[in-house]
Structures are given as C-alpha cells and as structure tokens.
Amino acid sequence: MIEYKYNQGDLLHNPQKYTFTEFENWDFLDAYKKSRNISLTYSDISLDLFQNLFKFLIPNINTNFILNDEIETEKYLKIILIEIFQKNFLNYNHIDIFVKKFELTKKLFKKYDKKFISKSENYSDLINYILLSFICLLSYKQEKNLKYLNTALKLNDTLTNQISKNHKYLIPLAYLVKIELNFIDELIKEKICNYD
C-alpha cells in the first residue's frame, strides 16, 4: 500500500518541487484519490459545484473591489472570478501571471506591486490559494488546457495539507477537491482504455 506523499510536510514553508517524480502505477492514483478524501461532516455540497463555490467565496457581488497601485491578491483574484461569472470572461493574461507566480515559488503573497513583485512577507493567506485553485479549475473547464489542471492539483496539495477538520475553509476545499476529482476521473476515462 503506497502513500500519497505530495501533500505531506509543511508545504507552505517547504514546498514540493515535483521534479523527477517516481512512477508507481495504478496504486499511486488510488493513493492520490484516498488522500483527497475530505472528512466533511456537512452534507450540503451541492450538485452545482461551480455556482455554489462562487456564492460561498463571494457572497456579496456588489462589494466594492476598487484596485489601487498596490495589488491585493485576494481582491484581484476575486475580480477575476466575478468577471468569469458575470461576463463569462476569462482574463488569461491576468490568470497566467498568478499561475506563473505560484508555479515558480509555490507561494502567493498577500500584496504585489504593479510589476507583480511581492510587496509583503505574508504568503499564508489560504484564501488566495483557494481563489486561484478555483480560477484554474474554471479555466480548465473552459479550455481543457492541462496547464490549469496541473496548477490546481498543486494548489490543492497545499490546501489539503494546510486545512484540517473544523477549519473555516473546509467547505470551499471540499468543493475544489470534488471538482478536481471529477476532472481527473474524466481524464482517466478519456486517456486510459483499460480503466475500470
């Protein structure tokens, strides 16, 4: 029985590099799925995963999200999400900046300057990782570009590592993981014939 090791350890401070990862056959995919089993006591994970997660993350859409010279990551990511849900517009130029930021450092800082250089020491706000994961999953849903599913998997490794039972973000994490697992199952069925 193998163990899924990519969401273990303190990933915020000692991130995974994912280089030359070992091939462990179907056992690995089974271990991965088990590791994504969120021990959720709530039964209210609705079938409309995307819409409900959006409502959970941005309950009041009329909140004033004015941008200033300093980029506040949470605010910025919420604007990207609102654009997706209100205008069906995915601003890939902006999404890709955050994808690259996360992929290179595995960190999302609280604030950036106009050139997207970090202006804060704080990279522990899990809401930023949740928002980017959701944006990546929505981007994958729209374009089927594996780059976004790849980043979502890594973000969700960090989130499943950091969010435990009774955490305030357990519900959004449960949504993210459910969406991610649906996409992975779809991909397995599409790409591997002998899947049962």
- In whole angstroms, how close is the CB of 195 to another protein at the nearest point? 8
Q: Does 123 bind another protein (CB under 8 A)?
A: no
CB of 17 vs another protein, minimal distance in Å: 8
The single-letter DSSP state of residue 139 is H
- Per the CB < 8 A criterion, the answer to whether 147 and 99 are in contact is yes
- C-alpha 15, offset from chain centre: 15
| Interacting residues of 31 by C-beta distance below 8 A, sequence separation 6+ | 1, 2, 3, 4, 24
Residue 168: CB minimum distance to another protein, A? 26
Question: With contact defined as beta carbons under 8 Å apart, do 101 and 108 qualify?
Answer: yes
- Strand, helix or coil for residue 40: coil
Q: Which among 16-24, 45-53, 69-77, 166-174 is the span making contact with another protein, rule CB under 8 A?
A: 16-24
Place of tokens 């999400």: 81
Chosen residue from 14, 19, 86, 88 binding another protein by CB under 8 A: 19
Please list every residue from 156 through 175 that binds another protein, using CB under 8 A. Answer: 157
The helix (run of H) or strand (run of E) holding residue 129 is helix 126-143
125 contributes a contact to another protein by CB under 8 A = no
Question: Is there binding between residue 97 and another protein (CB under 8 A)?
Answer: no
Query: For the window 98-117, what string marks contact with another protein as x by the rule CB under 8 A?
Result: -xx--xx-------------
CB of 156 to another protein, least distance (A): 10
The interface with another protein within residues 27-56 (CB under 8 A) comprises: 28-29, 32
The reply to whether 147 sits near another protein by the rule CB under 8 A is yes
User: Shortest Cβ distance from residue 62 to another protein (Å)?
Assistant: 36
| 112-121 contacts, C-beta under 8 A, 24 or more apart | 112/70, 112/71, 112/73, 113/69, 113/70, 113/71, 114/69, 114/71, 116/71, 119/70, 119/71
Write out the residues near another protein by the rule CB under 8 A. Answer: 6, 17-26, 28-29, 32, 99-100, 103-104, 145-147, 149-151, 153-154, 157, 184, 187-188, 191-194
